[in-house]
Amino acid sequence: MASEDTTPGPALPGQRSPSATLLAGLAGAGDVVADPDVLEAYRRDQAAPGLLAAGMPAALVRPTTTAEVQVAVRAAAAHGVPVVPRGAGSGLSGGANAIDGCVVVSLERMDRIVELDAAGLTATVQPGVVNAVLGTAAAAEGLWYAPDPASREFSTIGGNIATNAGGLCCVKYGVTRDALLSCEVVLADGRAVRVGHRTRKGVAGYDLAGLICGSEGTLGIVTEATVRLLPAPPRSSTLAATFSSLVDAGEAVAAIVRRVRPSMLELLDRTTLQAVQELEPLGYEDDVHAVLFARSDAGADAGLREIELIQELCDAAGATLSVVSDDEAEGRAITVARQLAYPALERKGTTLLDDVAVPLPQVPALLAGVERIAVDRDVLIGTFGHAGDGNMHPTVVYDHRDADAVLRARAAFDAIVALALELGGTVSGEHGVGLLKTAHLDAELGDARGLGRAIKDAWDPAGTMNPGKAI
């Protein structure tokens, strides 16, 4: 018996290629783009170039409504092709990297603030609203949207929710999940559901809004969100303190968090400080091995008292110099090195930015271990970050054109992640797993990874929502 020939023959007149039928299905999904030059710009996020896979999408859609997102998701589902949601593409873990043949759903045009309810202290926004734009709108009402990733001027609320983004003031006000009340999500089969509660408290059912927060686009696409606003904080007071040893700085952090709730507690190591001083000489002495920056927004007098207590704790831990100010402009001036940390390291080469977090007492051990890894692996690593949360950014700087340097950088990065786990920490404190850290998930999650995958299967049985990321 002759076997059946399943090789596709040449397209017959009137017969359409799969991508043509996909494109036809996407009609009604807003702006639909198949131009390879445009698609190129939507293939990857800001994670270290060359280290992570970034496929070529079949199409990009830029919807403006939930209904258009539903059209896109249904068309992709009908063709069995992956959907990759995308905000501003500022992610640092490859979460928004495209997959060959996928549909990239960019939420950038869903950028409307739907409602700012000053009396109810909430804002309802489309996912493409940039974090700082919401901040400005809230400030106009005397209110404040607290989550403040360093990317707040360009990253979107949808992306912040999908990565559960953190920032400098998390140490007092929590991360994006703490600000999210409810959201509308388009599921893998195209249904739109609302999860969470618009009320400030609400415990009916499982916390599905909390689940969506940090799910990196693998469970559905956030098409609207209601977030919590706060009264604008009063004027802040600021401290900068230098240390001749990282361990002393780590001990100061441990002492501070036991006594005070600062609204910022950040640390910079010597390598980062040197890079900053090459970019902008700020007059730090050569023997400074760590700088600590703290802020208090407890109010005029209370804030100053709090920051002076932090100063005493720094001095007791061996600070070589400490200054405080209750003037906001001066406060910004004495913390400028923190703002310059990442740009300064970026100037020295390609950066592989880590975001491990460890229990607070382990911060000094993490910092010392990272220094050892830099020596052992012969790589430059500058460390800065959110010391008050135990969430640090050891940043490996390398030359991405040098294959050996790339290998050493990746090995150093993996060693830092392993060290954080040894210290009882997590592989990602705020940037998410994306593609970058999936290899480390078993070590951290153990059997819980299977539970996570079961949730993924229940929400997305065909596995088309941003597959291969996050879990």
Ligand X SMILES: Cc1cc2nc3c(=O)[nH]c(=O)nc-3n(C[C@H](O)[C@H](O)[C@H](O)COP(=O)(O)OP(=O)(O)OC[C@H]3O[C@@H](n4cnc5c(N)ncnc54)[C@H](O)[C@@H]3O)c2cc1C
To ligand X, the closest distance from the beta carbon of 127 in angstroms equals 4
Nearer to ligand X, 165 or 188 (CB): 165
Residue with tokens 């941003």: 466
Nearer to ligand X, 196 or 303 (CB): 196
Distance CA 267, CA 138 (A): 29
Nearer to ligand X, 164 or 322 (CB): 164
Nearer to ligand X, 46 or 236 (CB): 46
How is the beta sheet containing 321-325 ordered, strand by strand?
Answer: 321-325, 237-243, 290-296, 264-269, 380-386, 391-398, 350-353
Nearer to ligand X, 178 or 326 (CB): 178
The separation between CA 439 and the C-alpha centre of its own chain, rounded to angstroms, equals 18
To ligand X, the closest distance from the beta carbon of 45 in angstroms equals 4
DSSP 8-state symbol, 426: B
To ligand X, the closest distance from the beta carbon of 74 in angstroms equals 16
To ligand X, the closest distance from the beta carbon of 276 in angstroms equals 15
Nearer to ligand X, 48 or 419 (CB): 48
Nearer to ligand X, 99 or 324 (CB): 99
Question: Binding residues for ligand X, per CB under 6 A?
Answer: 45-46, 84-92, 95-96, 107, 127, 149-151, 155-156, 158-160, 162-163, 165-167, 216-217, 221-222, 342, 430-431, 466, 469
To ligand X, the closest distance from the beta carbon of 44 in angstroms equals 10
To ligand X, the closest distance from the beta carbon of 221 in angstroms equals 4
Distance CA 177, CA 187 (A): 20
To ligand X, the closest distance from the beta carbon of 310 in angstroms equals 22
To ligand X, the closest distance from the beta carbon of 42 in angstroms equals 9
| Residues contacting residue 97 through CB under 8 Å, at least 6 positions apart | 43, 44, 45, 47, 52, 53, 54, 55, 84, 434, 435
Nearer to ligand X, 101 or 127 (CB): 127
- The number of CA neighbours under 13 Å toward the Cβ of 378 is 6
To ligand X, the closest distance from the beta carbon of 196 in angstroms equals 14
Nearer to ligand X, 43 or 289 (CB): 43
Q: How many residues does the chain have?
A: 471
Q: Which of 308, 325, 313, 294 is nearest to 256 (CA)?
A: 313
To ligand X, the closest distance from the beta carbon of 69 in angstroms equals 9
Nearer to ligand X, 149 or 425 (CB): 149
To ligand X, the closest distance from the beta carbon of 343 in angstroms equals 8
Nearer to ligand X, 122 or 156 (CB): 156
To ligand X, the closest distance from the beta carbon of 176 in angstroms equals 8
Nearer to ligand X, 99 or 334 (CB): 99
